[in-house]
Chains A and B, each alone.
Chain A
Amino acid sequence: MAYRSDVVQVRDVRTHLQRGGRGSPLLVLHPEFTAHTWAPYHDALAARFHVLAPDHPGFGSSQRPAWLESIDDLVFHYVDLLDHLEIARVSIVGTSLGGWIGAAFAVAHPERVERLVLAAPAGIKVDGVARYDYFANPVEDVLVHLFHDPTRAAQILPTEYGAEVLVRGYHELTTLARLSWNPYLYDPTLTRRLARINAPTLIVWGAEDRVLPPPHADAWVARVPHAMLKILPACGHLVPFEQAGAFAALAIEFLGA
């Protein structure tokens, strides 16, 4: 599927934006490790929607502004992006970090969200359930940990490991640390605010998620008012990468193009 890659100026942030497909607008928010990727699930979604897949500030080819410190900053950024693109209402598909941003966006701006698909979103803490620590493990372990079937990790591994690739990875992890070193991968205020989401919401979780184990899914469904849950078997944390076909089919059916 054809897609185009542009740099758009969103206030003071040069933002890399990939776009493809026709139909109603669908904002696809990437997880913490696959910025600047047009993956098979983007293709599948673009068959039915106009997919907008930006790199978050500080990831991929988008600049990291000095003021970026929190998920709220990213919510404001995406309000600005939609305004820039003159899009009033949008559906959102977000994975992990992208799901956290999507949920926080829907909490703050419910009037702008049509439907919400969250694949293993980060952002809340479940007492007694450990979250895998990206920051305290070797990067090789981290990348494999994102999948149930470790051979599936190959699709997101760098093809070479020169200094620039490692510096680039460090740059993105640094952005992630700025957003969520402590509290780690959650925002204590988000849990109680999830009740403000009024868009119909589909939560998708991998049954074998080793980063945010499935009890997180139950906590989301309990708190988001109009949420339904799908658990995918033989699937780890990066749902749209490990089960691209099944995930895209669920999303398309739910979004009802």
Chain B
Amino acid sequence: MMQFFYFHLMPWPHLPRDFEQAYDSAWVTLPNQLYDPKRGHRLYNEYLDELEHAERLGFDGVCVNEHHQNAYGTMPSPNLMAAALARRTTRAKLAILGNAIGLRDHPLRVAEEIAMLDVLSGGRVISGFVRGIGCEHLSLGINPTHSRERFYEAHDLILRAWTEPGPFTFEGDHFRVRYANIWPRPLQQPHPPVWLPSQGSPETIAFGARHRYPFVSVFTPYANARRLLREYQDEAERQGYRATPQQLGFAVPLYVGRSDAEARRDAKPHLLWLFRRGLKIPPHFLAPPGYLSEDTLRRFLLADIKPPSELSFEELERDGYILVGSAATVRDRLKEIQRELNIGLFVGGGRIGDMSHDKAMRSAELFAREVMPHFRRRPPAARKAVR
């Protein structure tokens, strides 16, 4: 059994033609005058239409996420988008992958907003937690050397706020409150599911396995995703239990066409947009001092991996950064992935880079009609797609 989640970054696709020569990055210093709010209005509404349509197509959940001051993903507040979706969907899980809890001024605000969303949506919220990427510590003035401790501390405060009768006092190194007592409380008990979408430092994996939080490997080469999910399962065993597929997730940019050739042709420019433009991030933005542990940095330097922004489409495909093909190809590959990674959570979609609304909808429909049913226990007829 596999659960399917439709993922959206809400990119800003209208970058200038000479972006790659003219700008260092799609993050931090990309002038916000390149954002046109009038076009943004139309895009936001199309993007929400796509997420709402994913529910009608039978996806188990729809996903939003937090990124700041960039063209890669224009969702600084994922909770706002989840709120919009809460009123226009009825069944799908609302997966926020995730709130960057270490970047926020006060984690209680996240605890409150997630509780609001959970009550509003009738208990459909999945609450992902992330640290925020390196760039965002420059964009928001948060000290990257505190990133990890802020993340753990924010997590502890939020979990206590959801589960412990208030008021209580919390006194951490970074966050302090003498009367933590959130109203409303979340509907799901003991609390909404917490997921960890991550590119997988050993620390995060151990933390996830210890708390039994589902771990979703995000936008990383397939071999790396396999290693991370293996590490999580090993860590679970060290903790004395066996990780279930419902704890193991794989997120990948996905495109389905009517044939392999058509899929490649149609998806290629948009996937290259994602990696060459959206993910154009120089090292000093990607890893500001202290954001990475020195061990992680050393491993990365010695591995001598090409940045994904420098890979060709063929290399992206070969290394499994992306999943592109006909429904049959994608289905077969996904069967392999399911078998190899033992995953029960698949996060795919959506409208990639500068892809058109119609193309994104066609791909999602093909995936929902011709791929998803093969991973369901019940016969596919019950989940007919509607337009």
Do A138 and B282 touch across chains, with their CB atoms under 8 A apart? yes
For chain A, residues 175 to 210, give those with C-beta under 8 angstroms from any C-beta of chain B.
Answer: 176-178, 181-182
List the one stretch of A9-17, A95-103, A165-173, A218-226 in contact with chain B.
Answer: A165-173
Given A170-B289, A174-B289, the answer on whether A163 and B284 have CB atoms closer than 8 Å is: no
Q: Quick one: CB contact mask for A146-170 with B, threshold 8 Å, 1 for yes?
A: 0000000000000000011011001
Given A174-B289, A181-B145, the answer on whether A135 and B138 have CB atoms closer than 8 Å is: yes
A-B contact pairs, 17 of them (CB 8 A): A135-B289, A137-B284, A138-B282, A138-B284, A139-B284, A163-B302, A166-B301, A167-B301, A174-B145, A174-B289, A176-B289, A177-B290, A181-B137, A181-B141, A181-B143, A182-B142, A182-B143
Determine which residue in B138, B143, B285 has the highest number of CB atoms from chain A within 10 A of its CB, and name it: B143
Q: What size tier do the contact residues of chain A reach?
A: 10 to 19
Residue B350 at the A interface, CB < 8 A?
A: no
Out of A135, A170, A176, A177, which one reaches B294, CB within 8 Å?
Answer: A170
For chain A, residues 54 to 80, give those with C-beta under 8 angstroms from any C-beta of chain B.
Answer: none
Q: How far is the CB of A150 from chain B (nearest CB, A)?
A: 19
Q: Report the separation of the CA atoms of residues A103 and B11 in the bound assembly, to the nearest whole angstrom.
A: 48
Given pairs A170-B289, A177-B145, A182-B141, 10 additional interface contacts (CB within 8 A): A136-B284, A138-B283, A139-B284, A164-B298, A167-B298, A170-B294, A177-B144, A177-B288, A181-B143, A182-B142
For chain B, residues 1 to 57, give those with C-beta under 8 angstroms from any C-beta of chain A.
Answer: 28-29
Q: Report the separation of the CA atoms of residues A1 and B44 in the bound assembly, to the nearest whole angstrom.
A: 68
CB-CB under 8 A from B287, the residues of chain A are: 170
Residue B297 at the A interface, CB < 8 A?
A: yes
Query: Which chain A residue has the least Cβ–Cβ distance from B138?
Result: A136
Q: Quick one: CB contact mask for A118-137 with B, threshold 8 Å, 1 for yes?
A: 00000000000000000111
Do A170 and B297 touch across chains, with their CB atoms under 8 A apart? yes
Query: Which chain B residue has the least Cβ–Cβ distance from A172?
Result: B289
Q: Quick one: CB contact mask for B118-143 with A, threshold 8 Å, 1 for yes?
A: 00000000000000000001100111
Q: How far is the CB of B267 from chain A (nearest CB, A)?
A: 32
CB-CB under 8 A from B301, the residues of chain A are: 163, 166-167
Q: How far is the CB of A222 from chain B (nearest CB, A)?
A: 28
Query: Which chain B residue has the least Cβ–Cβ distance from A168?
Result: B294
Given A136-B28, A136-B284, A176-B289, the answer on whether A181 and B294 have CB atoms closer than 8 Å is: no
Q: Report the separation of the CA atoms of residues A136 and B144 in the bound assembly, to the nearest whole angstrom.
A: 13
Q: Report the separation of the CA atoms of residues A174 and B283 in the bound assembly, to the nearest whole angstrom.
A: 14
Q: How far is the CB of A219 from chain B (nearest CB, A)?
A: 23
Q: Report the separation of the CA atoms of residues A170 and B286 in the bound assembly, to the nearest whole angstrom.
A: 13
Q: How far is the CB of B172 from chain A (nearest CB, A)?
A: 15
For chain B, residues 269 to 312, give those with C-beta under 8 angstroms from any C-beta of chain A.
Answer: 282-285, 287-290, 292, 294, 297-298, 301-302
Q: Report the separation of the CA atoms of residues A12 and B235 in the bound assembly, to the nearest whole angstrom.
A: 34
Do A167 and B138 touch across chains, with their CB atoms under 8 A apart? no
